Structure 1
Amino acid sequence: MVLDNQIKAQLQQYLTMLEGDLVIKVSAGEDKTSQDMLELVTELKNMSQRITVENVQLERTPSFSINKAGSEESGVVFAGLPLGHEFTSLVLALLQVSGRAPKIEDAVIKRIQAIKDKLHFETFVSLTCHNCPDVVQALNIMSVLNPNISHVMVEGGTFQDEVQARDIMAVPTVFLNGENFASGRMEIEDILAKLGSQSDGSEFADVEPFDILVVGGGPAGSSAAIYSARKGLRTGIVAERFGGQVNDTLTIENIIGTRSTEGPQFVASLEGHVSEYDIEVMKSQRAVKVERKELVEVTLENGAVLKGKTVILSTGTRYRELGVPGEEAFKNKGVAYCPHCDGPIFKGKNVAVVGGGNSGVEAAIDLAGVVKHVTLLQHRDELKADKVLQERLYSLPNVTVLTNASTQEITGTDKVNGLTYLDKATGETHHIELEGVFIQIGLLPNTEFLQGTLEMNQFGEIVIDKHGATSMPGVFAAGDCTDTIYKQIVISMGSGATAALGAFDYMIRHTAPDPVTV
């Protein structure tokens, strides 16, 4: 049985929301995946009278397309079974192809519909990748909205020969008209920008100043915005990537009151909670300057300037890079940062994990269940991970742990073929032959654009006081980009609330009231 009873019950409810008749066209063979696919689409047909199924020959087998009855092809195709993290992509595709409007801004819809070129996208995914659905769903929406655009989700496990032939070593990897287009998580705005359909900032020309403008949309920024809006303040969020680093987190088990969740699911909850308030959210926008004038001004990469009586910076962090030769050259060609996303690509291969903290040891444990062998390298003389994780790691037969090992170079030709490290205890240099390197050495604050503007410590973290205030009057900060000693989601959410309350208190004491209109 492809779908269990609980998922069937949920799916049945979603299918009642179909707004038009659908035709699912299936290209199936005799293999097990084809048979599972036939079972899946048959279950869909049996759940809704609006769905019919036709057997056809598509470019790939097994695959199926979703089309509105009596209309042109939608261009939405799933090659392989869209289960796991991609099940939501399937449900949304059914609804959107049937006529249900996607939840995106009108300005974005117009940019998509204005595209005149023929664009055929192919996204290679793994079903364990929690970043892949964002790309699949974005490209599906674009296909539904513009007949010049088509998109195929390709499940890498089903089409391994194609993955090998195209040298795909990271997911999601997107091809456009047969050429490599991009890798990694993207939202619609990011895809449009890469296509050359960029915002020129004109949509922000008439935006009134905010009482509190939050820069960053992760746990800290979301919390700050909600607390600000609950005070009745005019609140805005400008964020390059809503959810921030949490999007790249798999299992979260330390949010008090929430036993377990996943990063993207938690981000969706944050975004849903923010949407319940009168908060103006401006996504896929990068801040490049903050300065104090009559108000606090935040300049965006596209040249637009947003103003706030106060500003809360919650720009979060990103993966720290090794900075050794070969790292940049082989990104997505064997160098990876997300074991959950890219691990399945290295099935049966030898890989290395660089980093001996919790994230590095957890990555090695996860990868050991997929790959042939894992070598973990730690530059110190002992691992820093929790004892329980170390015990689990050392119990695995296909893991080698190297301490006092300083990575010197990642080698390869067109893709990774090895790693060179220095044994600091002996002074000898060694080379390991392998096909993948997962870097797990911590995070860096996203604060480079603030250099020389605010007081920061030697790690690039923003220095704040107990109210969340920075060295610039009217500017506050919260979350992992600050010098708070512990970097945890629950702590970031609390610091976001603190910064919002601090900004509110600052406004009461320093901002003249708006004139009353009679």
Structure 2
Amino acid sequence: MAFLKEQDRIEIRKRLEGLQNPVKLVFFTQELECMYCKETHQLLQELAELSDKLTLEVYNFAIDREMAEKFSIDKIPATVVMGEKDYGIRFYGIPSGFEFSTLLEDILMVSRGDSGLSEETRKALKAITTPVHLQVFVTPTCPYCPQAVYLAHQFAFESDQITADMVEATEFPHLAQKYRVMGVPKTVANDRDVVEGAAPEPMLLERLQEVLKAEIANS
């Protein structure tokens, strides 16, 4: 059974007509012991068929260890959205429900080569010199989560130091428990709580800078 209905395909194809540069989806999966790997693979396959500028590469997480290490993939299902380079944009879990819109926005952003962030935020992100790992915990039925995930992915696009993950909380309950996720979206940076809820761009930047200052002070 197809994930995307015919009407959805028509609308998505129209949106993808605006793709300027090629975009690659790199997907890590395995046949056994993986919730939603099969479904995620099918969803990405259906999506990739809707544009000549969108390609899908599939790797076995257990067998293709070299590729998993190259992209620092530590859990599955995992989807990387990349263009001419890897921008650190990751989806862990199936990007369905509201999160499918985030995947589409990411594809469009990578294709046009512009994050859409303010000049002030871009400059601040370019000034970051230490690695940052953003994790945004979501559920597919959360209407405010796409905004939080997309903003984190915009940050990753602008800075080579930032990797930003969407983490579907119900698929990775051990991580939701570890980071005390009581509500979604919740954003964590370098294992420190940053913000709960969908923060606007200036707030996320400010909170991220606070985390980095605290790390320097404690080092």
Query: Considering the TM-score relative to the shorter chain, is it more than 0.5?
Result: yes
From the CA coordinates, give the structure whose radius of gyration is larger. Answer: 1
Tell me, in whole angstroms, the C-alpha distance in 1 between the residues paired with 2:8 and 2:132: 34
User: Following TM superposition, by how much is the alpha carbon of 1:19 offset from its aligned partner in structure 2, in angstroms?
Assistant: 1.7
How do residues 249-328 of structure 1 correspond to structure 2 at under 5 angstroms? Answer: none
Match of 2:192 among 176, 179, 197: 179
Q: Does 1:106 align with 2:109?
A: no
- Which residue of structure 2 lines up, in the alignment, with residue 194 of structure 1? 207
SS of alignment partner, residue 75 of structure 1:
strand
User: Structure 1, unaligned stretches of length 5 or more?
Assistant: 198-518
Matching residue within 80, 89, 100 for 1:76: 89
The two structures, once aligned, show a CA RMSD in angstroms of 1.8
Using the alignment, how far apart are the partners of 2:22 and 2:90 within structure 1?
17
Cα deviation for residue 178 of structure 1 reads 2.3
The equivalent position to 1:59 in structure 2, one of 74, 80, 93, is 74
Offset of 1:64 from its aligned partner? 0.7
1:114-125 mapped onto 2 (5 Å cutoff): 114-125=127-138
**In structure 2, how many angstroms separate the alpha carbons of the residues matched to 1:129 and 1:32?**
19
Mark the runs of 5 or more structure 2 residues left unpaired by the alignment. 60-67, 211-219
Instruction: Assess if the C-alpha contact under 8 Å between 1:25 and 1:53 holds in 2.
Output: yes
SS in 1 for 2:112: coil
What is the CA-CA distance between 1:140 and the residue it aligns to?
Answer: 0.5
Residue of structure 2 aligned with 1:136, choices 135, 149, 166: 149
Runs of 4+ in structure 1 over 3 Å off = none
Report the counterpart of residue 6 of structure 2 in structure 1: 5
**2:203 match: secondary structure:** helix
Question: Alignment length, in residue pairs?
Answer: 195
Alignment of 1:347-386 (within 5 A): none
1:112 alignment partner AA:
L
Kept in 1: contact 2:189–2:208 (CA 8 A): no
Q: Which residue of 1 aligns with 2:26?
A: 25
The letter of the residue matching 2:115 is P
The AA in structure 2 aligned to 1:64 is T
Does the Cα contact within 8 Å between 1:18 and 1:100 map onto a contact in 2?
no
Letter in 2 for 1:176: A
Of 136, 145, 160, which residue of structure 1 is paired with 2:173?
Answer: 160
Mapping of residues 457-496 of structure 1, within 5 Å: none
Report if aligned partners of 2:194, 2:204 keep a CA contact under 8 Å in 1.
no
TM-score (norm 2): 0.81
The separation in 1 between residues aligned to 2:3 and 2:93, in whole angstroms, is 13
- Residue 67 of structure 1 contacts residue 74 of structure 1 at CA under 8 Å; is this kept in 2? yes
Residue-by-residue CA offset, 1:411-450 (whole Å, 9 max, x unaligned) = xxxxxxxxxxxxxxxxxxxxxxxxxxxxxxxxxxxxxxxx
* C-alpha deviation, 1:181, in angstroms: 2.4
How far, CA to CA, are the matches of 2:114 and 2:25 in structure 1? Answer: 19
Q: Which amino acid aligns with 2:18?
A: M
User: Could you tell me which residue of structure 1 aligns to residue 53 of structure 2?
Assistant: 50
| Pairwise CA distance, 1:121 | 0.4
CA deviation profile, 1:290-340 (whole Å, cap 9, x unmatched):
xxxxxxxxxxxxxxxxxxxxxxxxxxxxxxxxxxxxxxxxxxxxxxxxxxx
